[in-house]
Amino acid sequence: MNFLRTLSIPLLTAVLLGIPVIWAFPAELPAWRSLGIVLGWAGCGLLLASLLLMLRETWLAEWLGGLARMYAWHHVLGTVAYLILLAHPLALAADNLATSPVLAWALLSPSAQGWPLWSGWLALLCLMLGMASAFAKRLTYPVWRWLHGLLGVAILLGCLHLWLLGLGPTFFFVLLLSLLFIGWRLIRVDGSLAARPYLVSQVQKVAEGVVEISLRPLAAPISARAGQFVLVGFDDGGRFEGCGESHPFTLSAIDPDGHLRISVKALGDCTQHLQSVEIGVAARVQGGFGDFLIDRPGTAQIWLAGGIGITPFLAVLRDKPLTGPTTLIYLYRQDVDAAYVEELRTLAAGQPQLNLQLHRGESDAASLAAWLPEAAALVGQTAYLCGPPGLVRAAVRILGQRGMPSAHIHFEGFDFR
């Protein structure tokens, strides 16, 4: 990632945070009241930045360093904004605590001030519920999505709070950007206007609970490269009913005629349902996203794949011959779980640069330590990891203990909740 892409999100956040704070910065007010006002506007600015980072546009992801990076910052900025906005009314109340405890309490009691304060507290309540959904890992997707949608309601209630307080010019700035980002997300992303139409042309079972789905473009195909992932939503068709949501899938192949292939492992309700997808079902594809395996060095590399994590490496091997020595370590639990093993063996036989190592069994820390190269063999190498989060974390730890610099260890994240 180049220097400008590294700074893009912090700079963008600084602009969206700084404009309302500078515009409405208090002058000649007591310290606590000034702090309360600054905290309120800072929270608004951070929420605007968080809203912008939830827009899944390929050009925006490319500019800001990738979709996974955008979503990581989206979570961080939303959490910090929530904490700052919680402190906002406390600082305003503290301004009056010494001289008038009754007035201080009134600022924390919506019933004492009517709708100007009610709207602010309702915004905080919706923000609290939306943030709770962000940290609740066991919620079903429909429940998570409904609760997370309250974050948008919280922002609109916050704008109402500003209007009722008579904060005109800054209110319009926050409202217009909020409506722009929320409307953009609902229409372009959730409404699939940013996606391209495809049709399921082939479905092949490649392992237990894993199917490879071929998608034929119905219009201009998306621009994607081997190693990237796409967001795919499947519609109703024939006896198949779509899931009503889009999921990220790493491309397992990009064919010359524009066809895409994705491998789907049954890991949840929707991916289990997709095991029975039929030829002829319409799909909406957006991407490609990510730079995993895109800018690889010409030096020796280690690829570690766990289970369905083999797909980005397979896409690269299918795309063109390797240009540097590469060791591919593929881990799977049982023979029935091993996808594409025979094809990998065929590819390895035809590519002298590829050293294929297949390992069956549980990928615990001890086994992983035995399968990964020792410290001396890691010198000058770059590692690419794809698989279950626990496997990736363990591999990063072992490689780091053996002296591999963190800058030489790459992996892709898919936590978009």
Quick: pLDDT tens for 216-249.
999 999 989 998 999 999 998 878 888 877 888 9
| CATH number of 301-411, picked from 3.30.413.10, 3.90.190.10, 3.40.50.300, 3.40.50.80 | 3.40.50.80
DSSP structure string for 403-417:
T--GGGEEE------
pLDDT at 312: 92
pLDDT at 415: 57
pLDDT at 238: 79
Q: Give ranges for CATH 2.40.30.10 in the chain.
A: 196-289
Q: How far apart are CA 156 and CA 152, in angstroms?
A: 6
Q: Give ranges for CATH 1.20.120 in the chain.
A: 3-190
Q: Give ranges for CATH 3.40.50.80 in the chain.
A: 301-411
pTM of the predicted model, to two decimals? 0.81
Going residue by residue through the chain, which has 417 residues, state the pLDDT in tens, using 9 for 90 and above. Answer: 566 777 899 999 999 988 888 888 888 888 888 898 899 999 989 999 999 998 989 999 888 988 888 988 998 998 999 999 989 888 888 877 767 666 666 666 655 567 878 888 888 888 888 887 777 667 776 777 778 788 888 888 888 888 888 876 777 888 888 889 888 988 888 877 889 999 999 999 988 889 999 999 999 999 899 989 999 999 988 788 888 778 889 999 998 888 999 999 988 888 898 999 999 999 999 988 988 888 888 889 999 998 889 999 999 999 988 888 999 999 988 888 888 999 999 999 998 899 999 998 877 788 888 889 899 888 889 999 998 888 899 999 999 999 999 889 998 766 554
CB neighbours (10 Å) of residue 400?
13
Quick: pLDDT tens for 285-299.
998 898 888 888 888
pLDDT at 216: 95
> 196-289 is classed in which CATH architecture?
Beta Barrel (2.40)
Question: 239-246 long-range contacts, Cβ below 8 Å, gap at least 24?
Answer: 239/278, 240/276, 240/277, 240/278, 240/281, 241/273, 242/281, 243/269, 243/270, 243/273, 243/274, 245/141, 245/145, 245/270, 246/192, 246/195, 246/284, 246/286
- For the CA atoms of 243, 248, 253, 256, the dihedral, rounded to the nearest 10 degrees, stands at 80
Please give the class, per CATH, of domain 3-190.
mainly alpha
pLDDT at 211: 93
pLDDT at 204: 93
Quick: pLDDT tens for 197-219.
999 999 999 888 899 999 999 99
Residue whose C-alpha is closest to residue 385's, from 321, 319, 299, 293 = 293
Judge residue 76's burial from the number of C-beta atoms within 10 Å of its C-beta, 0-12 exposed, 13-18 middle, 19 or more buried: middle
